[in-house]
Amino acid sequence: MGASRERLGHDAAVHDLRARLAALPPGSPVRLAKPTSNLFRFRDPDAGPGLDVSAFHGVLSVDPARRTAEVGGMTTYEDLVARTLPYGLMPAVVPQLKTITLGGAVAGLGIESTSFHSGLVHESVLEMEILTGDGRVLLARPDNEHRDLFFGFPNSYGTLGYALRLEIELRPVKPYVHIRHLRHGDAAETAAAVESLCANGFDGQPVDFLDGTVFGPDEHYLTIGTFTDTAPATSDYTGEQVYYRSIPRRADDHLTVHDYLWRWDPDWFWCSRAFGAQHPLVRRLWPKRYRRSDVYRRLVAFDRRHRLSARIDRLRRAPEHEPVIQDIEVPVDALPKFLDFFHREVGISPVWLCPLRQADDRAWPLYPLRPDTLYVNVGFWATVPLRPGQSDGHHNRLIERVVTELGGHKSLYSNSFYDREEFDRLYDGEHYRRLKQTYDGNGRLPDLYDKCVRAR
């Protein structure tokens, strides 16, 4: 049986990409030209043109018998889910925002409410076809000669190469998700409940999804989701209603599986309020098709580029604000200490909680989690006023220090402030340099520390 039309088109696109890469001046830096991004390290708009990789957007095949999919690296989860749900299947982990790409979620880590049993996105990848910095296109699997690249690719952020094609595992779904929001009074109680739910389920039944929302030091909610074949009625949070606001108001809820997977996207969790999109009048006037995380992110990029908010703050003589946009993980028993510090020193609310455990004991060197440890991801995305004497980066540096003291890790999609020695210790710099020499010996792709800390 011959290759499919989609696979033939993919192979032709690979050949074309390699030719365009070879045509670049020797030694010139290489980067991708992408229409969307979910990073919060904003690239210099004058950085020059990149390689057009739009041809690698699309689902090549879905195999419902094997429960696998072959996917172009630039395919968004929105498009992937649209292809798999008709088969009653979904990716093992579906990151919260529609325009996150498969390749981006693997290179930059992806998490969601199935991560307490399925780990991070890269743990359900079976193989990757990777364009390396030295111009090769390699098939990396956990059991072949490029297994070092396979296991070293997660958390490399495009500094070792770019995933052009991935084969991933899929999981069966049911049509609806039954949601229950369980209130807990403090962080210690919440941490104990997370451990119990992950180990024992709820009311003796397994839990399919688990995340949480912290509205304040004494108001924590854990949200459990369970697949179900039927629903008495379903809620709609793509219109006038806002999902996170329903959490304190509704102990019990139902969503279609599609709407559950994208429940956070219409309001970018809760960050749409910064644009007035949650005000009833503004919401009615704001077209539904533009209530999306990628639209809000473009608005933030425009504001950062032109410094509009900073100018307004100066005119109002308001204090300068520091962006504190991070996701961190700490062991579950350290969650109360972290949240106590966070409420006292940072003060952002709400914040997101997402339990995480590695799916197996395989080692992923550039983001080393302990396989026997249950972690909780804490996500927070806002700006914090700087008090007199505090410089930009003050709160982010505090967070980095406390997370390290508590045995945790920080994702690298936003601003980081580590010195080189600590960065190498946390993200295995020695192992990274060996991979860099093997797959990008001439350094055409950026260095991981330069990209994630120095923003180069």
pLDDT greater than 60 at residue 265: yes
The string of pLDDT tens digits covering residues 1-11 is: 557 888 889 99
Which of 309-318, 369-378, 415-424 has the lowest average pLDDT?
309-318
pLDDT at 357: 97
pLDDT greater than 60 at residue 42: no
The string of pLDDT tens digits covering residues 363-415 is: 999 999 999 999 999 999 999 999 999 999 999 999 999 999 999 999 999 99
pLDDT at 315: 74
91 class by beta-carbon count within 10 Å (0-12 exposed, 13-18 middle, 19+ buried): buried
pLDDT at 38: 62
Which of 85-94, 292-301, 324-333 has the lowest average pLDDT?
292-301
pLDDT greater than 80 at residue 307: no
- Region 322-344 average pLDDT: 97
Q: Match domain 307-417 to its CATH number in 2.40.160, 3.30.70, 3.40.50, 3.20.20.
A: 3.30.70
Angle at which helices 335-345 and 187-200 cross, to 10° = 140
pLDDT band per the 50, 70, 90 thresholds, residue 121: very high
**Average pLDDT score, the chain:** 93
pLDDT at 43: 57
pLDDT band per the 50, 70, 90 thresholds, residue 47: low
What contacts 189, CB < 8 A, 6 or more positions away?
Answer: 220
- Region 433-454 average pLDDT: 95
pLDDT at 303: 78
Which of 81-90, 198-207, 330-339 has the lowest average pLDDT?
198-207
pLDDT at 7: 87
The string of pLDDT tens digits covering residues 59-94 is: 999 999 999 999 999 999 999 999 999 999 999 999
Domain boundaries, the chain: 5-173, 307-417
Q: Do 127 and 367 touch, CB atoms closer than 8 A? A: no
pLDDT at 53: 87
pLDDT at 40: 58
Distance of alpha carbon 120 from alpha carbon 118, whole angstroms? 7
Percentage of residues in the chain having pLDDT higher than 90 = 82
The answer to whether the pTM exceeds 0.85 is yes
pLDDT greater than 60 at residue 225: yes
pLDDT greater than 60 at residue 297: yes
pLDDT at 27: 75
Distance of alpha carbon 331 from alpha carbon 357, whole angstroms? 10
pLDDT at 49: 56
pLDDT greater than 60 at residue 45: no
pLDDT greater than 70 at residue 326: yes
How many residues are recorded in the chain?
A: 456
Spatial strand order in the sheet of 409-410: 252-256, 176-184, 219-228, 209-216, 351-356, 375-385, 321-331, 409-410
**Nearest 10 degrees: CA dihedral of 177, 182, 186, 192?**
-70
Distance of alpha carbon 10 from alpha carbon 56, whole angstroms? 7
Percentage of residues in the chain having pLDDT higher than 70 = 95
Q: Which helix (H) or strand (E) holds 82?
A: helix 77-84
pLDDT at 301: 82
pLDDT greater than 90 at residue 182: yes
pLDDT at 311: 76
What DSSP state is assigned to residue 266? G
Distance of alpha carbon 99 from alpha carbon 7, whole angstroms? 23
DSSP, collapsed to helix, strand or coil, labels residue 117 as: helix
pLDDT greater than 70 at residue 35: no
pLDDT band per the 50, 70, 90 thresholds, residue 238: very high
- 207 phi/psi in degrees, rounded to 5: -110, 130
The string of pLDDT tens digits covering residues 94-110 is: 999 999 999 999 999 99
Q: Do 110 and 125 touch, CB atoms closer than 8 A? A: no
The string of pLDDT tens digits covering residues 12-34 is: 999 999 888 888 887 778 877 76
Is it true that domain 5-173 has CATH number 1.20.1090.10?
Answer: no
